[in-house]
Amino acid sequence: MKEYLFTSESVSEGHPDKVADRISDEIVDLYLGADPEARVAAETLVTTNRIIIAGEVRGPETITTDDIERVARNAVKEIGYEQEGFHWKESAFECYLHEQSAHIAQGVDASGNKDEGAGDQGIMFGYACDETENLMPAPIDFSHRILRSLADARHSGESPCLEPDSKSQVTLKYVDGRPVGATSVVVSTQHTEGTSQDDLRELVRKHVTGVLPDGWMCPEDEFYVNPTGNFVIGGPDGDAGLTGRKIIVDTYGGAAPHGGGAFSGKDPTKVDRSAAYISRYLAKNVVAAGLTSNCTIQLSYAIGISKPLSVYVDMWGNTEVDPVRVSKVLQELVDLSPRGIREHLGLNKPIYARTAAYGHFGRTPDADGGFAWERTDLVETLKSEFGNK
């Protein structure tokens, strides 16, 4: 279509599902910090003054239930929950983590001449486009940034009326495939009792206009702040939260396919996570090298098998570069076995709690290896290989 509207949403670190994601990823970091080869599949449920963890692990016996409870409560405290209905200190805690299935371990572990296999079957997608500096789709990027701006104001004490739970939604108009402005913006944010809705609207406006490019703000009658009215009861007290329920928020806001698997709570032998990261890494480098303005990459795996079953590259109609050749070159540059992915990106580190909110992609690589999949260190090689064509 020559002109169309596209919408993406984000949720804050205090959204119930994101609280669950954060706790699950804190457990991943706890185990990987003690043993880089630990295995973790941790699921979290949060509801009114209750935190429940279940799943399976394989790691040092020195890690106790008390350690798990400590990191879970600290995560809730850092997010900012000290409310009557959900409090980091007062919530009941239950832990049902147990040893990893031996039948799964035998398929995944390396032994003899067998390399480490994928932790499960599945398909994973990576995507990049040149709509923003971080090569992310603009609607999801703006949605994340609005909520991060609000969270920064809350944590700093600049806006004490804000509470942790919030959601955003940005609709952009596209002309000839490029975003040109917002047609509507929705922000719902939890707040303290007695906060004026008019004051809240103006507070939120400042953060929205601070994120959108100049001249992109939507019409006034399409700017919605807490459209249902008061939003005092929120977080896990207002709605139960579960790990892995915000996979589109975690990725590309619906602008690209998702394989179906969640990320949080999983160690990097699970290709749901690691292969989605390497797919983004490859797609981002392809776009950053100027080979195309949009790139989608799909990988597929079978449990216990080390090599990918398929490596599909979609250049979104760019006829100047052969996607089959791109696929071949990328596989020569990066070992796409589970072990190869982890080693290339350095994933066996406690770097995952920071990914639990505001998206796993479009972030700045950290000095300690966090968000390594956002590096663009293949660009010069790809430019040389393809002559920037």
> Would residue 50 show up in a list of annotated catalytic residues for this protein?
no
Angle formed at CA 374 by CA 369 and CA 375, multiple of 5 degrees? 75
- Of 85-94, 96-105, 169-178, 326-335, the least confident: 96-105
Distance CA 28, CA 21 (A): 11
Angle formed at CA 312 by CA 309 and CA 316, multiple of 5 degrees? 170
pLDDT of residue 260: 79
Give the pLDDT band (50/70/90) at residue 230.
very high
pLDDT at 103 over 70: no
Catalytic residue among 6, 13, 15, 128: 15
> Would residue 231 show up in a list of annotated catalytic residues for this protein?
yes
pLDDT of residue 113: 45
pLDDT of residue 268: 94
Distance CA 91, CA 53 (A): 13
Cα–Cα separations (whole angstroms), residue 199 to 14, 202, 225, 359 = 21, 5, 11, 29
pLDDT of residue 100: 83
Count other Cβ atoms within 10 Å, centred on residue 145.
22
Annotated binding site for ATP: 15, 165-167, 239, 245-246, 262, 266
pLDDT of residue 102: 58
Catalytic residue among 231, 263, 361, 371: 231
pLDDT of residue 116: 76
Report residue 281: phi and psi, to 5°: -60, -45
pLDDT at 111 over 60: no
- What are the residues whose beta carbons fall under 8 Å from the beta carbon of 246, sequence distance 6 or more? 11, 15, 17, 18, 21
pLDDT of residue 124: 97
Distance CA 372, CA 329 (A): 20
Catalytic residue among 167, 280, 284, 360: 167
What is the average pLDDT across 199-227? 98
What is the average pLDDT across 216-225? 98
Q: Which H/E stretch holds residue 127?
A: strand 122-129
pLDDT of residue 304: 85
- What pLDDT digit, counting tens, does each position of 306-335 carry? 899 999 999 998 889 999 999 999 999 999
Give the pLDDT band (50/70/90) at residue 110.
low
pLDDT at 114 over 70: no
Q: Is-contact 362 144, C-beta < 8 A?
A: yes
Q: Catalogue all structural domains in the chain, each as residue range(s) with its CATH number.
A: 3-10+138-234 (3.30.300.10), 16-108 (3.30.300.10), 122-130+245-386 (3.30.300.10)
pLDDT of residue 389: 54
Q: Which two tokens stand for residue 330?
A: 């990328």
Burial class (CB in 10 A: 0-12, 13-18, 19+), 384: exposed
Distance CA 270, CA 339 (A): 11
Annotated binding site for K(+): 43
Distance CA 9, CA 252 (A): 10
Catalytic residue among 144, 246, 342, 344: 246
> Would residue 17 show up in a list of annotated catalytic residues for this protein?
yes
> Would residue 193 show up in a list of annotated catalytic residues for this protein?
no
Ranges of H-type helices in the chain: 16-34, 65-79, 102-108, 138-156, 197-211, 235-238, 247-250, 271-288, 323-333, 338-345, 379-386
Averaged pLDDT score across all residues of the chain: 95
Half-sphere exposure in the Cβ direction for 378 (13 Å, CA) = 27
Instruction: Please give the DSSP secondary-structure letter assigned to residue 217.
Output: P
> Would residue 246 show up in a list of annotated catalytic residues for this protein?
yes
